């Protein structure tokens, strides 16, 4: 009689998990992927820094191990508890000297990176290696899966441990959510990291005279994933490799693009408690109510004959929002409306606010991020604008599709993988889900904007495209299966 195989023990190492701490899409991924992996035979635990949000939010915390003073932290304790909502087990590192700081987990009050970030995230990676070593007597990972540069040094510490023992005990996977954020520090900090000196070279973590946490993950993990297939190809081609083309080429055969998913427990207009009325693809009355509620909330004039466009984004150069600023004139002149939420670069904040002052009936802006309002914006809008210069995956275009807000996107990265343009051919074949533009310039963007207005005039076609988008499957089921298969490839032993 055959027995069920033992579950694969997987440790996810990251710096954010929704709903306790979120500064971007990474937190949505680390919240939604682990519960889905458990359906595929994985026993998942998380490891995070002991930021106040985690210390105050993780349920039933208790001590696993007292660790030696390390990286400037006098007290280092490995704690264990559960995530609220999902119950996913979480270790957090209680090191007040490094993590107990108010506000942003990465930057000080002036928006500058903390001077000791190399130590703060070295401790995260070092603790991952200690769990591999067996510091939790009752649980030892078969796989360590690290996310973004914050977890990058975990793979160097694990590799150094393998060199010391002459034994490989754990498979490793590193996911790059954005190549542009690399965790680069001056080379002199290497002496503070407690790593073999032989790792400070081109065949290691050295990057143009710096220490690179991202390169550490790329170089030492068994497999490297990006968050969409197209982005994996873009960094292979060098187009989006951000200076790391050499190591990307070196690891090309171990590089896999796996598309991010959407947490359907959180993002579903049929059940979403954050929106003014629920709706589904066969009954869109609730969407009309959400649109009117959004117009009222934002101080816009109530109208239904022209589309409502929205932006929910960080205001950063990557996001292509200068195109949105330039295109607001077209939206206003044609009687459309725009709802914009986010913060970041000051000039973008001021440019959007200036439009809102001049056209208060048509343009509304909210500086900052509000999770509940984001849901209401998707539910009340007709088009979501995502004209990113580059986009490893992107989640907001998926949220838009599911909520009946057609995505208008630059055809790059995950945007290319998730949106099909409303060309005549695609409309005829009932494949279209939004609007795409190829060249990253204003004329191409404006052309897509005008096509959105034109399609909105043909409501029968608009409803077909909207229905197609709302019926797309962006759940984590398929992607989780691919991660589980990847884990089994790199697992050590039977």
Res 444 pLDDT > 50: yes
**What mean pLDDT do residues 140-148 have?**
98
Sign of the Cα torsion 145, 151, 156, 158 reads negative
**What mean pLDDT do residues 354-361 have?**
98
CA distance 54 to 16: 9
Q: Are residues 465 and 485 in the same domain?
A: no
Residue with tokens 């996911």: 175
Kindly give the residue spans of alpha helices, DSSP state H, lying in 5-141.
25-38, 52-57, 96-99, 117-133
Give residue-wise pLDDT tens across range 267-304: 999 999 999 999 999 999 999 999 999 999 999 999 99
Give the model's confidence band at 111: pLDDT under 50 very low, under 70 low, under 90 confident, else very high: confident
Q: Are residues 462 and 481 in the same domain?
A: no
Q: Are residues 358 and 384 in the same domain?
A: yes
Whether residue 280 lies inside any domain: the answer is: no
CA distance 271 to 279: 8
CA distances from residue 244 to 179, 214, 222 in whole angstroms, order as listed = 9, 9, 17
Res 363 pLDDT > 70: yes
Q: Are residues 343 and 225 in the same domain?
A: no
Q: Are residues 251 and 305 in the same domain?
A: no
Burial (CB < 10 A; 0-12, 13-18, 19+), residue 399, is: buried
Query: Residue 488: its pLDDT value, please?
Result: 96
Whether residue 385 lies inside any domain: the answer is: yes
Pairing verdict, β 89-94 and 76-82 = antiparallel
Whether residue 409 lies inside any domain: the answer is: yes
Kindly give the residue spans of alpha helices, DSSP state H, lying in 269-404.
285-298, 321-333, 346-358, 371-380, 396-402
**What mean pLDDT do residues 374-378 have?**
98
pTM of the model: 0.94
Q: Are residues 481 and 463 in the same domain?
A: no
Q: Are residues 425 and 485 in the same domain?
A: no
Domain range spanning residue 439? 285-470
Tallying the residues shown for the chain, one arrives at 494
- Binding site residue list for ADP-alpha-D-glucose: 22
Give the model's confidence band at 28: pLDDT under 50 very low, under 70 low, under 90 confident, else very high: very high
What are the start-end ranges of the E strands in 195-298?
206-207, 210-212, 223-226, 255-257
Q: Are residues 213 and 230 in the same domain?
A: yes
CA distance 418 to 402: 12
**What mean pLDDT do residues 311-321 have?**
95
Q: Are residues 255 and 291 in the same domain?
A: no
Q: Are residues 481 and 451 in the same domain?
A: no
Whether residue 403 lies inside any domain: the answer is: yes
- Domain CATH number, residue 432: 3.40.50.2000
Q: Are residues 221 and 307 in the same domain?
A: no
Q: Are residues 245 and 354 in the same domain?
A: no
Give residue-wise pLDDT tens across range 254-275: 999 999 999 988 999 999 999 9
Assess contact for 20 and 54: CB atoms under 8 A.
yes
CA distances from residue 11 to 18, 46, 52, 59, 185 in whole angstroms, order as listed = 17, 6, 21, 18, 26
- Residue 473 makes CB contacts below 8 A (sequence gap 6+) with none
**What mean pLDDT do residues 86-90 have?**
96
Query: Residue 3: its pLDDT value, please?
Result: 53
Q: What percent of the chain has pLDDT over 90?
A: 95
Res 47 pLDDT > 60: yes
Give residue-wise pLDDT tens across range 182-223: 999 999 999 999 999 999 999 999 999 999 999 999 999 999
Report the number of distinct structural domains present in the chain.
Answer: 2
Whether residue 433 lies inside any domain: the answer is: yes
For the chain, give the mean pLDDT.
96
Query: Residue 4: its pLDDT value, please?
Result: 55
- Binding site residue list: 22
């Amino acid at each position: 009689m055959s027995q069920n195989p033992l579950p694969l023990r997987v440790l996810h190492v990251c710096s954010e998990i929704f709903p306790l701490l979120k500064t971007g899409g990474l937190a949505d991924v680390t919240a939604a992927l682990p519960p889905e992996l458990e359906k595929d035979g994985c026993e998942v635990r998380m490891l995070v820094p002991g930021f106040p949000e985690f210390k105050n939010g993780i349920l039933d915390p208790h001590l696993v191990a007292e660790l030696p003073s390390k990286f400037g932290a006098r007290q280092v304790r490995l704690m264990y508890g559960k995530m609220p909502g999902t119950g996913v087990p979480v270790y957090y590192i209680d090191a007040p000297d490094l993590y107990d700081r108010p506000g942003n987990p990465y930057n000080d009050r002036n928006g500058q990176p903390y001077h000791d970030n190399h130590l703060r995230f070295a401790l995260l990676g070092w603790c991952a290696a200690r769990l591999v070593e067996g510091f939790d007597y009752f649980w030892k990972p078969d796989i360590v899966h690290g996310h973004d540069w914050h977890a990058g040094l975990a793979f160097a510490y694990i590799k150094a441990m393998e060199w010391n023992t002459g034994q490989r005990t754990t498979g490793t996977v590193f996911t790059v959510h954005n190549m542009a954020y690399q965790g680069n520090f001056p080379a002199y900090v290497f002496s503070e990291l407690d790593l073999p000196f032989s790792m400070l070279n081109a065949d290691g973590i050295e990057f143009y005279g710096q220490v690179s946490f991202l390169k550490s993950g790329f170089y030492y993990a068994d497999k490297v994933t990006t968050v969409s297939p197209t982005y994996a190809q873009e960094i292979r081609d060098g187009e989006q490799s951000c200076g790391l083309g050499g190591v990307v080429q070196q690891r090309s055969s171990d590089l896999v693009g796996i598309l991010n998913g959407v947490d359907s427990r959180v993002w579903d207009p049929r059940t979403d408690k954050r929106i003014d009325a629920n709706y589904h693809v066969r009954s869109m009355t609730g969407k009309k109510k959400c649109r009117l509620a959004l117009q009222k909330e934002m101080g816009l004039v109530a109208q239904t004959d022209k589309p409502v466009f929205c932006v929910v984004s960080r205001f950063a150069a990557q996001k292509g929002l200068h195109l949105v600023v330039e295109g607001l004139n077209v939206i206003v002149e044609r009687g459309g409306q725009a709802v914009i939420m986010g913060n970041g670069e000051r000039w973008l904040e001021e440019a959007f606010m200036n439009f809102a002052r001049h056209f208060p009936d048509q343009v509304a802006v909210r500086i900052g991020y509000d999770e509940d309002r984001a849901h209401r914006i998707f539910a009340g809008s007709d088009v979501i604008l995502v004209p990113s210069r580059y986009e490893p995956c992107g989640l907001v275009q998926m949220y838009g599709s599911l909520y009946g807000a057609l995505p208008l996107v630059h055809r790059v990265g995950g945007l290319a993988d998730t949106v099909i343009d409303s060309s005549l051919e695609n409309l005829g074949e009932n494949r279209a889900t939004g609007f795409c533009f190829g060249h990253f310039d204003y004329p191409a963007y404006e052309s897509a904007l005008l096509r959105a207005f034109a399609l909105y005039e043909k409501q029968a076609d608009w409803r077909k495209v909207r229905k197609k988008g709302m019926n797309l499957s962006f759940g984590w089921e398929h992607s989780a299966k691919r991660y589980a298969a990847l884990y089994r490839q790199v697992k050590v032993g039977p």
